[in-house]
Amino acid sequence: MTTLGYAILGLLSREDLSGYDLTRRMAGRVGYFWSARHSQIYPELARLEDGGYVTHSVVEQSERPDKKVYKITAEGLDDLKAWVTQPPVPRPIRDEFTLKAYSVWLADKEEAARLYREEGLRHEEQLAHYEELRAWMQGAWREDLTSTDSPEFATYATLRRGIGYEKEYAEWCRWMADSIERREPSEKRKKSKSGKNGG
């Protein structure tokens, strides 16, 4: 079973979906940390059905083309449950943007500063979007978020990770741009003061 397979099962464990619906959810990042295109999803659904992890039924629609709606099986759910607590084989992180920083000493300063400012803005925008989502979730899912065995909690948990990720990335971009422009790194929501880590 592939990781993509589990991403799909993760969605189907919450609701029955067609390949098209799955594609839209996977475009918007499943749990914000996986994605796939329809060209990968349709063949994977066939493999999942072949393996007995899902079944499908054709739903005839009058105002749209007919569709295949997929449902997770008991075996699929068991497999998914087992996978969730299995420690993943560590895969290397690949981040082209950070890799560029490794050669930033060769770059034109003005261009480099602009690059980091812009990338920082992109992450701040993503962060702002996530924060909005979080505010909405905390309002709409108040009770659900008190227990960790609700799908709402799980969605919220991955969103938290997204928020932390974007925040950290945006801060680093700001620090890079400030450094390149030879300013003191901007003081924004930072504690510092101690000095143990050698400012």
Partner DNA sequence: GGCTTATATGTCAAGAGTGACATAGTAAGA
Partner DNA sequence: TCTTACTATGTCACTCTTGACATATAAGCC
Residues that bind DNA (CB under 7 A): 2-4, 18-21, 23, 35-40, 42-43, 45-46, 61-68, 91-92, 94
Q: Does the footprint of its own copies cover residue 87 (CB under 8 A)?
A: yes
| Pairs from 110-117 (Cβ < 8 Å, separation ≥ 24) | 112/180, 113/177, 113/180, 113/181, 116/173, 116/174, 116/176, 116/177, 116/180, 117/173, 117/177
CB of 62 to DNA, least distance (A): 6
- The 3-state DSSP class for residue 24 equals helix
Instruction: Tell me how far, at minimum, the Cβ of 194 lies from its own copies, in Å.
Output: 9
Nearer residue to DNA within complex by CB, 34 or 141 = 34
Those residues whose C-beta lies under 8 Å from the C-beta of residue 75, and which sit 6 or more positions away, are 52, 53
Binder of its own copies out of 95, 143, 184, 187 (CB under 8 A) = 95
Q: Which is nearer to DNA, 64 or 190 (CB)?
A: 64
Residue 69 beta carbon to its own copies: minimum distance, rounded to whole angstroms: 20
Shortest distance in whole angstroms from residue 58 CB to its own copies:
27
The 3-state DSSP class for residue 48 equals helix
Among 20, 42, 97, 141, interactor with its own copies by CB under 8 A: 97
Stretch that binds its own copies, among 15-23, 45-53, 58-66, 113-121 (CB under 8 A): 113-121
Q: Out of DNA, its own copies, none, which partner does residue 40 contact, by CB within 5 to 8 A per kind?
A: DNA
Residue with Cβ nearer DNA (67 or 122): 67
- Quickly list DSSP for 134-197: HHHHHHHTTTGGGSTTSHHHHHHHHHHHHHHHHHHHHHHHHHHHHHHTTPPPP-SS------TT
Shortest distance (Å) from residue 8 CB to its own copies? 11
Check: CB of residue 152 under 8 Å from CB of residue 144.
yes
Sole binder of its own copies in the list 63, 148, 184, 193 (CB under 8 A): 148
We find the least distance from the C-beta atom of residue 12 to DNA, in angstroms, to be 13
Q: SS3 for 70-102, per residue?
A: EEECHHHHHHHHHHHCCCCCCCCCCCHHHHHHC
